[in-house]
Amino acid sequence: MQDFLTLLHYPFMQRAIAAGVLMGLLCGFLGSFVALRQLSFFSHAVGHAALVGIAMGVLLQVEPTWTLLPFTLLFGVAVLYLIDQTDLWSDSILNIVLSGALAIGVILASFIKGYRGNLMGVLFGDILAVNLTDIGLTFLLLILSVSILLATLRQQILLTLNQAVAKVQGVSVQFHRYLFVVLLSLTVAVAIKAVGILLVNAFLVIPASTAKLLSHQFKPYLIGSVAIGAFSSVIGMIVSGSLNFPSGPSIVLVQFCLFLLVFGFTKLTASWIKL
C-alpha cells in the first residue's frame, strides 16, 4: 500500500488511474446496453479486428490510435450492415468477419520489420502508457455516449425490449442501432490501448452482468453497472500498484471477484427467503 501511495506522485500513475476510472464509467454505461442487446460477441469481434487497425498504423508509421479509430468504426458499421443484409445468424457473420480480420491483421503484422513489441502489446494493453490524448478521447466518448443515450433513454429501453413495438411508437430503430454500434466500436478502440484486445470485453460485460444480478429495475441497473465499472478500476489499480501486478488484468480480476461475490450474495439471500 505504501508503494502505491508513492506511485501516486508519478504523473503516469495519475493518468493511468484517470484512464481506468473513465474507462470503467464508459464501458459500464455502454455495457449495460450491450448485455441486454446481446452485443457482447459483437464487441468481441470488433476488439479482435482492431489488430488490423493497429498494424496499419505501425506500417504507415503514424500513431496507431489514428488508424485504429476509423478502422473499428468502419468495421462495426460494416458488420451490422452484413448482419442486416443476410439470413445468416449474427454469430456466424461475426465469426466470419472476425476470422477474416484476424488473418489480415496477422499478415499485415508479418510485414512489420524490426521491433514488434509495440504490436504485441496490443494483446494485453498497458494502462500505464496512456497519454493525455487517450484520456481526452475517452472523456469525450463518455460525455457523448451519456448525453445521447440518456436523452433518448425511453427509446433506448423500448428498442432493447422489442424492436417492433419501438418502431410502431415511432422510434428510429435503425438509426439508433447504428449510432450505438458507432459509440461501441469507438469505445472498444480507445479501451484497447489500456487493457488490450483480449480483455477489453471484460469491461463491457462483467460490470453490467454483475449489476443485472443485483437489480431488477432499469435505472438502478444502469447506475450499478457504471459504479461497479469505475469502482473495479480504482481497486484494480490499487491492487496492481501494491502487488506489482499488470494493471489491466488486475482490474479485470477485481471485476471477476465482484461478480462472484454478488453471485454468492444473491444465492444466499435467495435461500434465506426460502427459509
Partner 1 sequence: MTPDIPPQFDASIPVIKIDGLTVHRGRYAAVENVSFELMPGTSSAIVGPNGSGKSTLVQAILDLIPRTTGSVQIFGRPIRKLGTLRHDIGYMPQNFIFDRGFPISVTELVQLGWVKTERGMSRNAAITQALQRVNAAHLRHQAIGTLSGGELKRVLLAYCLVVPRRLLILDEAFAEVDVQGEADFYTLLDELRREESWTVLQVSHDLEMVGRHCDQVLCLNRSLVCSGQPEAALSPQNLLQTYGPAFSRYHHHH
* Contacts with partner 1, residue ranges (CB under 8 A): 36, 154, 157-158, 160-162, 164-165, 167-170, 211-212, 215-221
Question: Of 172 and 242, which CB lies nearer to partner 1 in the complex structure?
Answer: 172
Report in angstroms how near the CB of residue 32 gets to partner 1 at its nearest: 9
Q: Is 215 exposed, middle or buried (0-12, 13-18, 19+ CB in 10 A)?
A: middle
Question: Of 30 and 58, which CB lies nearer to partner 1 in the complex structure?
Answer: 30
Left if phi > 0, otherwise alpha if psi is -120 to 50, otherwise beta: which for 245?
A: beta
Report in angstroms how near the CB of residue 18 gets to partner 1 at its nearest: 30
Report in angstroms how near the CB of residue 257 gets to partner 1 at its nearest: 22
Question: Of 36 and 179, which CB lies nearer to partner 1 in the complex structure?
Answer: 36
Report in angstroms how near the CB of residue 239 gets to partner 1 at its nearest: 29
How far, in Å, are 5, 9, 15, 163, 212 from residue 204 at the CA level?
29, 30, 21, 22, 13
HEC profile of 33-95? HHHHCCCHHHHHHHHHHHHHHHHHHHHHCCCCHHHHHHHHHHHHHHHHHHHHHCCCCHHHHHH
Question: Of 4 and 218, which CB lies nearer to partner 1 in the complex structure?
Answer: 218
Report in angstroms how near the CB of residue 134 gets to partner 1 at its nearest: 32
Question: Of 38 and 131, which CB lies nearer to partner 1 in the complex structure?
Answer: 38
